[in-house]
Structure 1
Amino acid sequence: MVSLFTNFQSPGVRIQETTQGYRVLDIASFETHYIIGSSATGAYLYPTQVSSLVDFTNQFGASPSEASIRLLFRNDKRAIVFFIRTPIAVRRTVTVSTAAAGTYTVTIAGTAVNYVATGTPTKPDIVSGLIAAINSSAVASSVTAGAGLTTDALIVRNDDPIATSPTLAVGTNLTLTVTTPTTPAAIDYVYAVENSFDAEDAYTQGFIYAPEAFQLLSLQSDRQAVGLALEAQASDPAFDWVALIDPGVGLTPAQAQTEALLYNSPQGHSAFFYPYLIDLESTVVPPSAAVAGLHTRRFREEGLQQPGAGAKFPVLGVLDVVTKVNTQQQEILNPIGVNVIRNLRNKGIVVWGMRTRSTSEFYTFLPTRVIMNVLNGTLRSGFDNDLFTSIDGFGLLLNAISQTAFSVCNRLWRGRLLFGATEAAAFEVICNFTNNSKEELERGNVILEVYAVPAPALEKLLISTIRVSIGTLPINQAQTVATQLPAA
């Protein structure tokens, strides 16, 4: 064994300073915007930061997302924004020209895919058969077939929209049309959501949304596909973001209700806002960008526990809402998690809801999700230096981990993100030998349990006024006696 005094040869005292114990972690932020959209120029599938509308147009040129970007910066001039350009796959449409019994062949990258029609098939029958044959063939690793815009056609797309398209040829009774769309399809937006972020890049937490997708996609099923992709990305534990989902264009309150119910977010990582807005240029704009900017502006001014809603923080840069929702309609929409934006007299255009798409009472409100995201994000990145450290039998390492987490929770509690008159009522941290068995420790595993009570937000206020008779007050004898009026 090497002595600690090997390099200490002469008599005297030497100081050796080290670090030990808990560390004070930086509290995670929640102010970043990730916007999925298309544009004329710019890198595909790469989150690129833009600092203003001018900066956005300089980097990406013309874009269907321009009005949303403008509205975002009007609601938060200091917004941290990353735009992700969606690639648009070449669309190759195979149309069944004649329906008859026989073999239908589509050759992709030299591989012939056959479907044998028997009896008296219809064109939709042949289309369904070809789709199934292509998606179960050897070429399914590079392309995917799906339904076309008409019942007699199918569309063959590259799985990677940026890759060079493989050759495609068709046989008898089939025709081929190749087009390059100018706007993305639902699958293009979904691809961008799923392939633009790497957890190891440590993107800061915030909101992810795709306003142009919900505005341009006319089919509800297409919008749903994008919304579900946003929810999956936001709820991924490696990211822990919040997805803002827009309705389709021109939906009535009843239709918005139906569409909102298509989305479920078990832990509240998605929220649905309705209706569309009319900006200062009289352009119809999806609500997500304005809502996101409103949230981050209020977070910066009043704290991460505050909802981006209410009369105190009206929506900026808008003239009106496209669809006016009255109180009776909102009484139906609000309980199911449709956050209504309303034009209210003496209040302005305000976000009048703060609910998520979760059915759990623990995740009903959006501020709760943000608070838990901040806690999770802080802890997620706070213990990298403790990995690959020997676990001692005295519990020193476990105690250091526990104290570090306690410090995080204490700061959130003092910042009013956690609810409780005392620390013990607001949070509890356990990391010791009571919840870490010797079997888990032998495997190199340590368990840290953090119990937290997020601060709730006020949604409804009930005021009771009670008429009482003369001489019956004060009911509360500890009430301060009011100064009597002077005699006349």
Structure 2
Amino acid sequence: MTALFNNFNAPGVRIVESTQGFRTLAIASFQAVYMIGSSSVGDYLVPTQVTSLEDFTNQFGASPSEASVKLFFRNDRRGILYFVRTPIAVQRSIVVETAANQTYVATIGGTVVSYVSTGGETKAAIASGLLAAINNSSVANLVTASAGTITDSIIVKVDNPLGSNVSLTVGTNLSVTVTTPVTPAASDYIYAIENSFDVEDAYDQGFILAPQAFQLLTSGADRLAVGNALHALASDAAYDWIALIDAGANLTVAQAQAEGILYVAPQGHASFYYPYLKDLEGGVVPASAAVAGVATRRFKAEGLQQPPAGAKFPVLGVTDVTVKVSTQQQEVLNPLGINIIRNLRNRGVVIWAMRTRSSSTFYSFLPVRVIMSVLNGTLRRGFDNELFSSIDGLGILLSDIAASARSVCSRFWRAKLLFGAAEAEAFEVKCDFENNTKEDLELGNVLLEVYVVPAPSMERLLISSIRVAIGTLPLGQTNLEAQLLPTTEA
């Protein structure tokens, strides 16, 4: 207190207004949807909000993601969608034209890379040797070489799709052509996922998806790489999103099962969906955009604790699914965490599952992941004003922090996001001198522990109907009815 008077030298009264006590924290949202894809125009690697299909085409032009954007807005007309345009890296093909006893030379970005053939080698062997030489040279920090579509060729791809073009020339018995694809490769999608978001930009929480990638990438390994990149971003504690992962195009039920179980999301930050959908125009569209639209539409109507699934919120803007999955097949797939879209009579096209790719019973259902993510997001952004504050010996600061967190949990409980007949059964908050040692406090560390019980969601309902004899009800009570039944004289 004495320090406050250091610059108060003249007689008089000065008022210093401040705040005290805990603050009511704003509850985080889970309404944003981030879609990774390619387009003919627009800024690269910039999450750009689009408000409709027309707005999307005005900003990004022609795009393989157009049908997915359309499907999202058909399921949530007021949805919040950010589109990220993926750049496509320059790609060239080096072909070994003739096998000879010579040195094969490629000059990449001014660096000479060579492979010496001693004679007797096939063109495929020479291509393999030159490929290894490129990836083991200093130019490997600019480009990546991989096997081409034919055995005597090499694909050389620029690592940074937005960087300056890397020159490439070749010597005798080699030829080079530009083979940059029209749509992104797996590495391009991954580059966009890893380089389009900055933690400090504080993007709202929500779903991230790349339906175009899963539909157009023909290699299962490529799809897995993209899906794992989506999950890595979503599971980052600074983001805490959920990745919606599609199966590959034209997969059978068995193939979808084999692909889906490859994804692992320990804390439930990824969900896998199969099959694809048929939209109103007759096109085939991956399911993830529809799932995101159903989710955000239901969140607005009924709360964040509700799953994006069920007959109450069918998929809009579609006529059918591309593969009919039977109940017997789903009985195998559902426990494995393979979410199925079905066309059920008198119910329409419905998302008939709500699992994540987690094997933990704590995180196996998507609504639980949403609840925990929103709680984490609320607490993560709620204490900026308390940072860089003095820790008093009376525990006032710690008490205020605990009270703010307790207020958040209370609002979650009243909104039915937490389970319990009373607050004490739903959550507990601790931030005091018992769980904050003097050693930690000396280092400027404060620990806030928040224990919560997320509301579970019903996936299965078992109805037991029991036929009983006349006069045996009500159960567990004096059988008054039996006593009042008329008797028959013998």
Tell me if 1:173 matches 2:168. no
In the other structure, the counterpart of 1:248 is 248
Q: Which moved more, 1:135-144 or 1:244-253?
A: 135-144
Give the Cα separation in 2 of the matches to 1:104 and 1:14: 83
**Residue of structure 2 in register with 1:472 after alignment:** 472
* Closer/same/farther in 2, CA of residues 479 and 298 from structure 1, 3 Å limit: farther
1:192-212 deviation line (CA, Å, top 9, x unaligned): 111110011000001100111
- Structure 1 residues 99 and 363: CA distance shift in structure 2, 3 A: farther
CA–CA distance in 2 between the matches of 1:214 and 1:347? 28
Q: Relative to 1, partners in 2 of residues 1:286 and 1:19: Cα closer, same or farther, differing over 3 Å?
A: same
- Tell me the equivalent position of 1:332: 332
Aligned positions of 1:193-204 closer than 5 A = 193-204=193-204
- 1:233 corresponds in structure 2 to 233
Is residue 359 from structure 1 mapped to residue 354 from structure 2 by the alignment?
Answer: no
AA in 1 matched with 2:374? V
Which segments of 5 or more consecutive residues in structure 1 lack a partner in the other structure? none
* 2:11 alignment partner AA: Q
Code of the residue aligned with 1:263 in structure 2: it is Y
Q: C-alpha distance in 2, partners of 1:356/1:283?
A: 27
Q: Which amino acid aligns with 1:414?
A: R
Q: Give the CA deviation at 1:116.
A: 3.6
Deviations 1:111-153 (A, max 9, x none): 1122344575444443343333322322222222222223322
Q: Give % identity.
A: 65
Q: What residue in structure 1 maps to residue 156 of structure 2?
A: 156
Q: Which residue of 2 aligns with 1:38?
A: 38
Distance in 2, matches of 1:241 and 1:177, equals 41
Distance 2:415 2:9 in 1: 48
Q: Deviation at 1:2?
A: 4.3
Partner of 1:134: 134
Picking from 6, 11, 27, the partner of 1:9 is 11
- Partners of 1:126 and 1:438 lie apart in 2 by 66
Q: CA deviation at 1:282?
A: 0.7
Which residue does 1:188 correspond to in 2?
188
Task: Output the CA distance in 1 between the equivalents of 2:293 and 2:131.
Answer: 43
Q: Does 1:409 align with 2:416?
A: no
Counterpart position of 1:455:
455
8 A contact 2:38–2:65 mirrored in 1:
yes
Any idea what SS the aligned residue of 1:298 has? helix
Q: Distance in 2 between matches of 1:360 and 1:131?
A: 43
Partners of 1:449 and 1:480 in 2: how far apart?
55
User: 2: distance between equivalents of 1:371 and 1:152?
Assistant: 53
Q: Is the 8 A contact 2:472 2:479 kept in 1?
A: no
DSSP-derived class of the 1:400 partner: helix
Task: After superposing the two structures, state which structure 1 stretch, 228-237 or 100-109, moved more.
Answer: 100-109
Residues 376-433 of structure 1: per-residue CA shift (max 9 Å, x gap)? 1101111111111111111111111111111111111111111111112111111111
The corresponding residue for 2:80 is: 80
Is the partner of 2:382 in helix, strand or coil?
coil
Tell me the SS of whatever aligns to 1:34: strand
Q: 1:179: how far off?
A: 2.7
Q: Per the alignment, in what secondary structure is the counterpart of residue 63 of structure 2?
A: coil
CA–CA separation in structure 2 for the residues paired with 1:131 and 1:392:
64
Q: Separation in 2 of the partners of 1:415 and 1:21? A: 24
2:471/2:479 contact within 8 Å kept? no
For residue 9 of structure 1, report the CA deviation from its aligned partner: 2.9
**Aligned partners of 1:214, 1:51: CA distance in 2, in Å?**
24
Aligned residues: 480
The residue matched to 1:361 in structure 2 has which SS? coil
Which amino acid in the other structure matches residue 189 of structure 1? Y
CA distance, structure 1, for counterparts of residue 332 and residue 296 of structure 2: 28
Please report how far the alpha carbon of residue 22 of structure 1 lies from its aligned counterpart in structure 2 after TM superposition. 1.2
**Unaligned stretches of 5+ in structure 2?**
485-490
CA separation in 1, counterparts of 2:92 and 2:462? 60
Q: Structure 1 pair 277/479, CA: closer, same or farther in 2 (3 Å)? A: farther
Q: State which drifts further: 169-178 or 187-196.
A: 169-178
State the match for 1:104 in structure 2: 104
Measured in 2, the distance between the counterparts of 1:442 and 1:127 equals 62
Shift of 1:54: 0.5
Shift of 1:34: 0.4
Could you tell me how far apart the structure 2 residues matched to 1:335 and 1:22 are? 44
Alpha-carbon shift at residue 185 of structure 1 (Å): 1.0
Task: Tell me the equivalent position of 1:221.
Answer: 221
Q: Identify the range of structure 1 (261-270 vs 147-156) with the bigger mean alpha-carbon deviation.
A: 147-156
Counterpart residue identity of residue 405, structure 1: A
Return closer, same or farther for 1:100/1:480 CA change in 2, 3 Å cut-off. farther
Question: How far 1:256 sits from its partner (Å)?
Answer: 0.5
In structure 2, what is the Cα distance between the partners aligned to 1:474 and 1:34? 56
Which moves more between the two structures, 168-177 or 276-285? 168-177
Q: Give CA-to-partner distance per residue, 1:459-482, whole Å, 9 cap, x none.
A: 00111111111111100439999x
- 1:168 is displaced (CA, Å) by 0.8
Q: In structure 2, the residue corresponding to 1:254 is in which secondary structure?
A: helix
Which SS does the other structure have where 1:381 is aligned? helix
Per-residue deviation, 1:90: 1.5
1:446 aligns to what? 446
Counterpart amino acid of 2:473?
Answer: L
User: Alpha-carbon deviation of 1:329?
Assistant: 0.6
Which residue is 2:488 aligned to?
Answer: none
Equivalents in 2 of 1:156, 1:265: separation in Å? 33
RMSD of aligned Cα (Å): 2.1
Greater alpha carbon shift after TM alignment, 121-130 vs 210-219: 121-130
Partner of 1:320: 320
Q: Does 2:384 correspond to 1:384?
A: yes
Distance 2:356 2:315 in 1: 19
Residue 146 of structure 1 aligns with which residue?
A: 146
Query: Compared with structure 1, are the counterparts of its residues 480 and 133 closer, same or farther at alpha carbon in structure 2 (3 Å cutoff)?
Result: farther
